[in-house]
Chains A and B, each alone.
Chain A
Amino acid sequence: DAGVTQSPTHLIKTRGQQVTLRCSPKSGHDTVSWYQQALGQGPQFIFQYYEEEERQRGNFPDRFSGHQFPNYSSELNVNALLLGDSALYLCASSFGTFRGNEQFFGPGTRLTVL
């Protein structure tokens, strides 16, 4: 089992550009959540996808959007990049409405906005 995988590992963009990050959940998982982790901070919840729909959303602007595919993989899109978007973006997967917080996290994508 490969666990949660994310691509790319690192990414450098300039302000105003758009970026797409990808995530493949752990085998058997159908729910994907995305988090932004700034340096020295805990991960902040962006949104969660289940059955190809956004189910929950954190306090992030509409510049952050996502998608989930029939195979449960997911994309995170960020438009009009700002310097403050520089962070580690984490994807986590879980199985449906599992009661509790056990999510499996990927290694993350390090995004640098110049």
Chain B
Amino acid sequence: LAKTTQPISMDSYEGQEVNITCSHNNIATNDYITWYQQFPSQGPRFIIQGYKTKVTNEVASLFIPADRKSSTLSLPRVSLSDTAVYYCLVGDIDSGGYQKVTFGIGTKLQVIP
């Protein structure tokens, strides 16, 4: 399983752009990179997924360098409601084609007024 490393916590002021970097040095060729958001007492929610270069959706952007050994989730102009735990995951597809998702401890983002 590809292991991920990300900061345990981050603080940011409202309106700022937040970048959370995740390291995944042993990512496999076929692995995708996915980010989830989780609020207290709720299930994780999919934010964005990518394989290489840059992916952008209405919520966030994901930057992946050419070697794919790291990735950066970018949240533009955060608000208080973005306070949550953010998980970086690397896709794990076994020989049967089925998936296991391995969550780390995540990054606790605190947005400050």
Q: Give the interface of A toward B (CB within 8 A).
A: 4, 31, 33, 35, 40-45, 48, 50, 55-56, 58, 88, 90-92, 94, 97-108, 110
Contact count A vs B, C-beta below 8 Å: 81
Cross-interface CB contact of B91 among A43, A45, A100, A107, cutoff 8 Å: A100
Given A56-B98, A105-B44, check contact A42 B106 (CB 8 Å). Answer: yes
From DSSP, what is the main secondary structure of chain B's interface residues?
A: loop
In whole angstroms, how far apart are the Cα atoms of A28 and B98 in the complex?
A: 17
Residues of A within 8 A of B105 (CB): 40-42
Q: Nearest CB to that of B1 among chain A residues? A: A45
Given A33-B101, A44-B103, A99-B93, check contact A107 B49 (CB 8 Å). Answer: no
Residues of B within 8 A of A99 (CB): 30, 32, 91, 93
**Nearest CB on A from B73, distance (A):** 14
Cross-interface CB contact of A101 among B30, B41, B91, B97, cutoff 8 Å: B91
Q: Give the interface of B toward A (CB within 8 A).
A: 30, 32, 34, 41-46, 49, 85, 87, 89, 91-94, 96-106
Is B98 a contact of A101 with CB atoms below 8 Å? no
Cross-interface CB contact of B100 among A4, A58, A90, A98, cutoff 8 Å: A58
Given A33-B101, A42-B87, check contact A105 B96 (CB 8 Å). Answer: no
